[in-house]
């Protein structure tokens, strides 16, 4: 099978900044038409690297449907990374008590997760017969092995140290995952913030080993009930709670959409990565993101 050339284009011109005055002058010279001549690489490609992106698809079969499966998987990887970027920014803001500033990256993260959910629609055409035409060629390859998805889970507070073991032969990836696992999750930052704002959370909860997954605690639930009891317009913690809830809801939708996609394409067959497939995914959904934000609503 012909291999795709992954070498970068020879033109590597950087994007050159332009002022509003320069843009206006260029439009006047062009008579309102777009610029069609450039001295070197097209600026859009220099910024987006589109020519590189479109060389990254290397299907293993001649089946035309495999390209959808491969590219949707790559799109999801990009969304995983983008969402992690937003959550890390929110962490920095919360650590510095900039609650208002943290709302923007959290809202963007929820929108990115919404886009991630929409990506599943590109695979709704796939039946078991469609998937089986190229599935065997994937060998043990499985979305379970996505390092960026593990970063996303760890940032959201879903922590299982065993899940980084597959990456031990990739030192940089492994070390980055270990660092994320050893650092506080977004939820850990939220708990510390609640304590700094006067909510009575026990020391053993705040000082625990953050590599161990947080277990729901009545003191955290009580704190959120108190937060939501204050309906005033200056209650930034309540706004934070709603932004976090949207992130958790969109992430939960992605996990459910994953379950449905597996049911649609392979039923209850064993997974490519060695798991029980559908049954393993269903069990994993029992671990809830930001659990006290949900349980507190019963007491409100």
Same domain, 24 and 81: no
Same domain, 84 and 26: no
Cα separation, 221 vs 204, whole angstroms = 16
Q: Does residue 181 lie within any of the structural domains?
A: yes
Same domain, 89 and 230: yes
Same domain, 50 and 80: no
Q: Which of 13, 29, 56 is the last residue of a domain?
A: 56
Same domain, 134 and 162: yes
Cβ count near 154 (within 10 Å)? 28
Q: Does residue 249 lie within any of the structural domains?
A: yes
Q: Is 258 annotated as a binding residue?
A: yes
Q: Does residue 233 lie within any of the structural domains?
A: yes
Q: Are 174 and 201 in contact (CB under 8 A)?
A: no
Q: Does residue 31 lie within any of the structural domains?
A: yes
Q: Is the pTM of this model over 0.75?
A: yes
Same domain, 156 and 111: yes
Cα separation, 79 vs 111, whole angstroms = 10
Q: Does residue 61 lie within any of the structural domains?
A: no
**What tens digit of pLDDT does each residue of 63-104 get?**
999 999 999 999 999 999 999 999 999 999 999 999 999 999
Same domain, 290 and 177: yes
Same domain, 26 and 118: no
pLDDT-derived band of residue 273, with 50, 70 and 90 as boundaries?
A: low
Q: Does residue 286 lie within any of the structural domains?
A: yes
Same domain, 96 and 162: yes
Same domain, 74 and 8: no
- The total number of structural domains that make up the chain: 2
The boundaries of the domain holding residue 2 are 1-56
Quote the pLDDT of residue 74. 96
Q: Does residue 208 lie within any of the structural domains?
A: yes
Same domain, 120 and 207: yes
**What tens digit of pLDDT does each residue of 14-33 get?**
788 899 999 999 999 999 89
DSSP 3-state of 39: coil
Q: Does residue 123 lie within any of the structural domains?
A: yes
User: Residue 227 maps to which CATH number?
Assistant: 1.20.58.480
pLDDT at residue 147 is higher than 60:
yes
**What tens digit of pLDDT does each residue of 226-236 get?**
999 998 888 99
Quote the pLDDT of residue 4. 42
Same domain, 114 and 143: yes
Give the helix/strand (H/E) hosting 72: helix 66-95
Sign of the C-alpha dihedral computed for residues 237, 241, 247 and 251 taken in this order: positive
């Amino acid at each position: 099978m012909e291999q795709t050339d992954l070498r970068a284009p020879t033109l590597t011109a950087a994007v050159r900044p332009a002022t509003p005055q320069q843009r206006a002058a260029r439009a006047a010279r062009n008579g309102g038409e777009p610029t069609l001549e450039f001295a070197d690489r097209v600026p859009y490609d220099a910024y987006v690297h589109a020519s590189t992106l479109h060389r990254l698809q290397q299907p293993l079969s001649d089946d035309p449907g495999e390209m959808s499966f491969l590219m949707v998987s790559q799109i999801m990887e990009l969304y995983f990374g983008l969402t992690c970027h937003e959550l890390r920014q929110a962490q920095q803001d919360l650590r510095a008590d900039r609650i208002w500033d943290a709302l923007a990256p959290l809202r963007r993260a929820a929108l990115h997760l919404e886009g991630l959910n929409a990506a599943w629609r590109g695979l709704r055409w796939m039946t078991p017969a469609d998937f089986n035409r190229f599935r065997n060629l994937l060998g043990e390859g499985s979305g379970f092995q996505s390092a960026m998805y593990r970063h996303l889970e760890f940032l959201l507070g879903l922590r299982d140290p065993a899940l980084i073991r597959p990456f031990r032969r990739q030192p940089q990836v492994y070390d980055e995952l270990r660092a994320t696992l050893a650092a506080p999750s977004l939820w850990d930052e939220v708990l510390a913030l609640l304590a700094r704002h006067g909510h009575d959370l026990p020391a053993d909860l705040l000082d625990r080993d953050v590599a161990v997954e947080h277990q729901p605690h009545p003191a955290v639930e009580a704190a959120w009930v108190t937060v939501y009891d204050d309906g005033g317009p200056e209650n930034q913690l309540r706004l934070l709670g709603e932004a976090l809830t949207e992130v958790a809801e969109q992430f939960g939708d992605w996990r459910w959409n994953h379950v449905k996609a597996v049911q649609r394409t392979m039923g209850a067959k064993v997974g490519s990565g060695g798991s029980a497939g559908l049954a393993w995914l269903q069990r994993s959904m029992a671990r809830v993101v930001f659990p006290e934000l949900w349980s507190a609503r019963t007491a409100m």
